A and B are shown apart, each in its own frame.
Chain A
Amino acid sequence: MTPSEHPTGPELQACHDGELEDTRSARIRAHCASCAACRGELEALASVAALLAADPDRAPVRPLWNAVRPGSRGPVPLGRMGWGLGLAACAAGIAAGLVFGPVDQATTAATAKSGWTETMTIWNGQATSPLLAVFENTGD
């Protein structure tokens, strides 16, 4: 490697990380000794690495073993099932809509009113039996 033949950025990175073969690494370091630009690149890499190293690992709050040991796992928490349950509910709703068709609001209102009348009849003791009241009011 001549003084004018500079190593590439990834090569300098690999040299800094100790990932090059000894001969290649030695050539790059020899080049850096006489090339201020490449030496500066290597020094910058070392500075960034030092900054990164100053950030220590955080530790988990509790040991994992009890949560992961075979046979110790209970039902999956709802949070993780949320997506599956939500999608299943949506699919069921769409399927029900397709099977039963749109709801006739007039019929629904009439049925509700009829049901209320029927409830009051039973409550007032006017019907002989709740079952009979249902048949009387729905006309079935």
Chain B
Amino acid sequence: MTDRSDDQLVMAYARGEERALRILVERWERPVFAFLDRMLGSPEEAEDLCQDTFIKMIRAADRYRPEGKFQSWLFRIAGNLARSRLRRRKILRWLPLNTEHDTTPAPGGDALDDLTGAEDRLRVRRAISRLPERQRAALILKQYQDMSYQQIADSMDTTVNSVQMLLHRAMQALRKDLLSKRNEP
């Protein structure tokens, strides 16, 4: 059953196969969590919203149209939740982006390499967190979820041209932020 497409699994769940739903959740929980983690800069909040994303997905499963756009649909739910959370944060102001919380073990190498790697990762996360919300979403979906412009446009309810512009601006901002600082003495 694990080799079935997302659409087939959603349809199977709609017919009452709970196991199909479990496979879907296990297949997508890490990508959705990673997207929310980068959008929000907080693994705790990402876990909370990841759970909400799947609960919403399950509730809406019977209205899903199997057109091969499950990934865009799922990330649209996650993106909308992230947007609401960020809006609420703007109101509250007292919830900072937790870009310090890096629990990812650095891959191999000696201690200095590990430290440099961790610093680079932190710099990247901070730079991403400084992007405007829509640029950040488009960039994460392209760079880390490897989605096509069309898939990103579907999940963000926009056009391919708009996605192209968002990505161009995001990459220019990151280039300024990351490469200029890297070249500083």
Binding site for B on A (CB under 8 A): 9-10, 13-14, 17, 19, 44-45, 47-49, 51-65, 67-70, 73
Contacts and interface: CB of A to CB of B under 8 A. Distances in A.
Contacts of A51: 120, 124, 174, 178-179
A70 B50 contact: no
Contacts of B164: 10, 13-14, 19
A70 B179 contact: no
Contact of B51 (A10, A49, A68): A68
A134 B139 CA distance: 73
Interface of B: 18, 21-22, 25-26, 29-31, 33-34, 37, 43, 46-47, 50-51, 54-55, 58, 102-104, 107, 117, 120-121, 124-125, 128, 139, 142-144, 148-149, 164-165, 167-168, 171-172, 174-175, 178-179
A90 B118 CA distance: 46
B149 A14 contact: yes
Contacts of B144: 52, 57
A52 B143 contact: yes
Nearest to A52: B143
B179 A60 contact: no
Nearest to A11: B164
A49 B143 CA distance: 7
Given A61-B43, A61-B47, A63-B29, A10 B54 contact: no
Contacts of A13: 164, 167-168, 171
A55 B30 contact: no
A60 B22 contact: no
Nearest to A47: B179
B26 A48 contact: no
A9 B168 CA distance: 7
| Leading 4 A-B pairs by shortest Cβ distance | A57-B34, A10-B168, A13-B168, A68-B54
B57 to A, nearest CB: 9
A53 B51 CA distance: 26
B29 A60 contact: yes
B174 A48 contact: yes
Given A55-B125, A61-B47, A48 B179 contact: yes
Contacts of A10: 164-165, 167-168
Contacts of A53: 143
User: Which of B26, B164, B172 has the largest number of chain A CB atoms within 10 A?
Assistant: B164
A57 B124 CA distance: 12
Contacts of A69: 18, 21-22
Contacts of A64: 25, 29, 50-51, 54
